[in-house]
């Protein structure tokens, strides 16, 4: 079978597996990405039916598109009125969870290096890897919260956390990668760069939303409304990156404002009718389908390139254990003063799945020429798999607990 035909068969199969996973998810609360990763592992490392070389060349291009689609779709669906109460806690959990995840990974690499299981590396490399896997995956958290019968307040908190940590991981990791590539020893530089990228990203997002909001009523009921929106977000991402800002933050800001235009515009323009700025059902359906396609491809690919190196597998499993242990103090600190039940607390603790952002970022250090990164992407992929498995099992167990 030629490579084109084989690729077509692979795409057909992974779409069917994705649809089957969502069907099972609705009935068992086991996230559909588990089945996609499992199918990739069986098709790749186990039975060697599919060569990773068929799909891996698309990763650099697919990564930017995937990040844009996921961030735009997730932010567009968030309603400021619904998340207002959860936003402070969600953002606090996102920040504390990110910090404690970085501490966990730094401690993990320090210990593994001391024991001789990991080659010594500059501490900044450890910090970079910690930033790559520092946040939970919105592409896993958001669908699970929507379908998993999680208490409303906890679900909104986790949605806000995952939506905030996706761009946080991207921004911090990219700044650290740039620092390693340039070899700068100025410790203040990452913080200035982070502030500049965040500020420019927010400014570009606000500007884009202001320019695009007037077109919502005209495109609302048109069949091409979502493609136009997606085209605008892709262009915004690219333009912001060219201007040395953070494209992910720009897309997140613009999508959040456009998604909430129905409540924002009447406050800014008295007499404006908010309902004409609401998204149509067609837009929501197309967003879901695009997210489904991105998710199916990405998690199947992760399974396809899952490492068979026993050392990497064990290290990835141990890394997830460190993340889980340090997740507990992060949850305790961010929920102080809240009257959480046992079930709610453990829902927050088990919500550690890593995903799209971590997988995409893991490929960048090697492409940027940072030495010693040959095993980084496979190791991160293995860590993503174990974190998703832990989340799936933990989510199912916690769901059966009594309050």
Q: Would you say residue 261 lies in a domain?
A: yes
Pick the closest to residue 167 from 257, 103, 75 (CA basis).
Answer: 75
How many Å apart are CA 284 and CA 220, to the nearest integer? 11
pLDDT digits (tens, 9 = 90+) for 222-243: 777 778 888 888 999 889 988 8
pLDDT top residue among 320 and 54:
320
Q: Would you say residue 11 lies in a domain?
A: no
pLDDT at 57: 66
Q: Would you say residue 271 lies in a domain?
A: yes
Which of 195-199, 207-211, 299-303 is the most confident on average? 207-211
Mean pLDDT over 122-133 rounds to 90
pTM: 0.78
The pLDDT-based confidence of 207 (bands split at 50, 70, 90) is very high
Q: Would you say residue 14 lies in a domain?
A: no
The pLDDT-based confidence of 321 (bands split at 50, 70, 90) is very high
Q: What are phi and psi of 18, to 5 degrees?
A: -60, -45
* CATH number of the domain encompassing residue 103: 1.20.1530.20
Geometric angle at alpha carbon 289, from 288 and 292, rounded to 5°? 85
pLDDT top residue among 328 and 155:
328
The pLDDT-based confidence of 280 (bands split at 50, 70, 90) is low
- Give me the number of domains the chain comprises: 1
pLDDT digits (tens, 9 = 90+) for 42-99: 887 888 777 766 666 666 677 677 777 777 776 676 666 655 666 677 888 888 999 9
Q: Would you say residue 43 lies in a domain?
A: no
* Structural domain range at position 335: 59-399
How many Å apart are CA 127 and CA 134, to the nearest integer? 10
Q: Would you say residue 281 lies in a domain?
A: yes
Mean pLDDT over 352-370 rounds to 83
Q: Would you say residue 201 lies in a domain?
A: yes
Give me the percent of the chain exceeding a pLDDT of 90.
15
Q: Would you say residue 381 lies in a domain?
A: yes
């Amino acid at each position: 079978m030629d490579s084109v035909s084989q690729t077509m068969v692979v795409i057909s199969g992974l779409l069917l597996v994705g649809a089957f996973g969502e069907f099972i998810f609705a009935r068992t609360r086991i996230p559909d990405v588990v089945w996609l990763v499992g199918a990739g592992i069986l098709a790749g490392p186990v039975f060697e039916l599919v060569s990773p070389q068929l799909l891996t060349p698309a990763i650099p291009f697919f990564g930017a598109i995937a990040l844009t689609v996921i961030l735009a779709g997730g932010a567009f669906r968030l309603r400021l009125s619904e998340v207002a109460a959860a936003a402070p806690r969600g953002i606090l959990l996102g920040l504390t969870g990110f910090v404690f995840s970085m501490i966990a990974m730094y401690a993990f690499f320090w210990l593994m290096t001391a024991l001789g299981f990991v080659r010594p590396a500059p501490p900044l490399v450890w910090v970079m890897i910690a930033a790559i896997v520092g946040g939970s995956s919105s592409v896993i958290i958001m669908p699970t919260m929507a379908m998993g019968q999680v208490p409303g307040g906890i679900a909104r908190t986790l949605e806000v956390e995952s939506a905030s940590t996706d761009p946080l991981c991207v921004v911090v990791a990219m700044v650290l990668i740039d620092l390693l590539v340039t070899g700068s020893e100025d410790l203040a530089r990452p913080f200035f760069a982070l502030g500049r990228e965040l500020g420019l990203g927010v400014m570009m997002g606000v500007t884009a939303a202001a320019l695009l909001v007037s077109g919502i009523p005209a495109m609302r009921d048109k069949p091409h409304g979502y493609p136009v929106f997606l085209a605008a977000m892709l262009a915004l991402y690219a333009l912001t990156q060219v201007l040395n800002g953070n494209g992910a933050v720009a897309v997140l800001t613009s999508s959040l404002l456009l998604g909430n235009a129905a409540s924002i515009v009447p406050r800014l323009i008295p007499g404006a009718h908010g309902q004409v700025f609401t998204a149509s059902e067609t837009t929501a359906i197309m967003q879901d389908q695009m997210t489904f396609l991105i998710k199916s491809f990405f998690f199947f690919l992760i399974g396809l390139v899952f490492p068979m190196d026993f050392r990497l597998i064990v290290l990835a499993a141990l890394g997830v254990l460190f993340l889980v242990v340090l997740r507990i103090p992060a949850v305790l600190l961010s929920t102080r003063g809240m009257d959480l039940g046992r079930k709610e607390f453990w829902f927050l603790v088990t919500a550690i799945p890593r995903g799209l952002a971590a997988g995409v970022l893991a490929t960048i250090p090697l492409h940027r020429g940072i030495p010693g990164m040959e095993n980084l992407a496979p190791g991160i992929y293995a860590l993503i798999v174990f974190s998703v498995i832990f989340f799936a099992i933990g989510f199912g167990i916690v769901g059966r607990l009594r309050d």
